[in-house]
Amino acid sequence: MTGAYLRRIDRSNGAINAYLHVDVEGALEQARASDERRAQGRAHHPLDGIPFGIKDNIAVAGMPLTVGMQVRRGRIADEDAYCVTKLRRAGAVILGKLHLHEAALGADSDNPWYGRCHNPHRTGYTPGGSSGGSAAALAAHLCALSLGSDSMGSVRIPAAYCGVVGLKPSAARVSQRGLVTASRRLDHVGPMARNVTDLAAVFQQISGVDAFDPMSRSVPLAHTERARERLRIGVLADAAGHGVDAEVVACFERSVAALQPMFPRWQRVSFADVDFGAARRAGLLLCEAEMNLVHAQDLAEHPELFSPSLRKMLGFAATRSAIDLVAAANLLDEAVLKARRVFADVDVLLTPTTPQPAFAFGTATPANQADLTSFANFAGVPALSLPMGANADGLPLGLQLLGPIGSDLQLMALGEQIEAALGYSAHPQVQ
């Protein structure tokens, strides 16, 4: 399997630019070891021998860790991230490091230093971001599974744009050790896959309490496991009023209508009390402020190796006071309370993942691109994106499922049913 993926990478990565680094020899060696284990009937785990791509802000020992930043070009990680350690323990094969938006702060993957990563569904279009490479590599069959990271939607936005699935887990459930931080509060390592079943397998393998990650802790399981006929499904009310494109609203409502016969208990859930714009600015400030610390030395020594837009965002945080930051964090706490109100009434909430489909490079990134995804980061709740169909142009659209904290597995169990019911597969032709 690894050989076939490496051949496809060799053939297609030039056009798509999903990989920033491929470890051909290492991958082949891991694959041989796995084949041997399998031949002897002692495979470690169902993921033994499965080839992964890893977003290039997650440390893999001996491989680059650029975070898509020019100043970090050539820097090599000396230790595996916790999640990578867990994958290796399962016998997974690490193919290489995947493209991302510069510093993982932005969502079009139009990287001024490492080039554009293209959407496999349409060259010249964004795969979304910041985990653009992690979604593009899956859609183009350049890996079997991948890891991304998600601070305001960076796993789910590219999953939606590329027609694959991605999970932002409950806060504290997957260790962030070895992830280059954007914001300790908002960051989440998240699995990405071509179907929800695979996604759940990766999630289970990388979950766990890590004593060395201050944000990691035991998360009590949400008690929302209910028979299908008792499951209370919430549906985002007034998507158009929240700036969702008409074609996305139409696809979303068609999907809801298609699912309605499966689940008798439905209700609309209003987000009229949420100021998405203010929350977005607050979330960005948390990331920008923390990234000033994370990249302090590089920024001081080589500001010219930061793109003007990244420099501007980081510089903005330097002009905000400690009091502004508390105000931002407190505003995000409102999402915690909103989520509790929502999940007192429903067991799962459906929304479009993004307000629009993938757009052409050179077009302005829609300001509200992450508004529907970032709510889950602010609230700490798990959120899953899976394909719900395509727009008239054939570009994939994502359906987002949110549940209460700790309901990750239930959410994916439901996601499998919805995936089967919608029957939409968005994978472009494998070349």
DSSP string, 18-81: -EEEE-HHHHHHHHHHHHHHHHTT--SSTTTT-EEEEETTB--TTSB--TT-GGGTT-B-SS--
CB of 344 to a copy of itself, least distance (A): 7
CB of 340 to a copy of itself, least distance (A): 5
CB under 8 Å to 384, separation ≥6 — which residues?
A: 156, 165, 166, 167, 168, 196, 199, 400, 401, 402, 411, 412, 415
For a copy of itself, give the closer residue by CB, 27 or 287. 287
Residue 193 near residue 163, CB atoms below 8 Å: no
- Per CB under 8 A, 317 contacts a copy of itself: yes
- Per CB under 8 A, 340 contacts a copy of itself: yes
- Per CB under 8 A, 336 contacts a copy of itself: yes
Dihedral of alpha carbons 273, 233, 341, 222, sign: negative
Stretch that binds a copy of itself, among 67-75, 119-127, 162-170, 335-343 (CB under 8 A): 335-343
Judged by CB under 8 A, the chain residues 31 through 90 that form the site for a copy of itself are none
- Distance between CA atoms of 214 and 378, rounded to whole angstroms? 18
CB of 214 to a copy of itself, least distance (A): 4
Q: Which two tokens stand for residue 267?
A: 């209700």
Cα distance from N-terminal residue to C-terminal residue, the chain? 16
Stretch that binds a copy of itself, among 40-48, 245-253, 273-281, 338-346 (CB under 8 A): 338-346
For a copy of itself, give the closer residue by CB, 18 or 317. 317
3-state secondary structure of 287: helix
Give me the catalytic one of 149, 154, 216, 374: 154
- Per CB under 8 A, 211 contacts a copy of itself: yes
155: amino acid identity, one letter: V
- Per CB under 8 A, 214 contacts a copy of itself: yes
Q: How many CB atoms lie within 10 A of CB 76?
A: 13
Judged by CB under 8 A, the chain residues 224 through 243 that form the site for a copy of itself are none
Q: How many CB atoms lie within 10 A of CB 240?
A: 13
Q: Which two tokens stand for residue 420?
A: 């089967």
Q: Which of 292, 365, 368, 391 binds a copy of itself (CB under 8 A)?
A: 292
Binding mask 96-125 for a copy of itself (x = CB under 8 A): ------------------------------
Binding mask 136-175 for a copy of itself (x = CB under 8 A): ----------------------------------------
- The count of residues interacting with a copy of itself (CB under 8 A) is 36
Q: Any idea which residue has 């504290």 for tokens?
A: 172
- Per CB under 8 A, 311 contacts a copy of itself: no
Residue 132 near residue 188, CB atoms below 8 Å: no
Residue of 133, 213, 136, 134 whose CA lies nearest to 173: 213
130 in active site? yes
CB of 326 to a copy of itself, least distance (A): 5
Give me the catalytic one of 12, 34, 109, 130: 130
97 in active site? no
- Per CB under 8 A, 8 contacts a copy of itself: no
309 in active site? no
CB under 8 Å to 166, separation ≥6 — which residues?
A: 131, 134, 135, 148, 150, 155, 156, 158, 159, 190, 191, 192, 193, 199, 384, 385
Active site residues: 55, 130, 154
Q: Which residues bind a copy of itself (CB under 8 A)?
A: 184, 211-212, 214-215, 217-218, 220, 285-286, 288-290, 292-293, 317-328, 330, 333-334, 336-337, 340-341, 344, 405
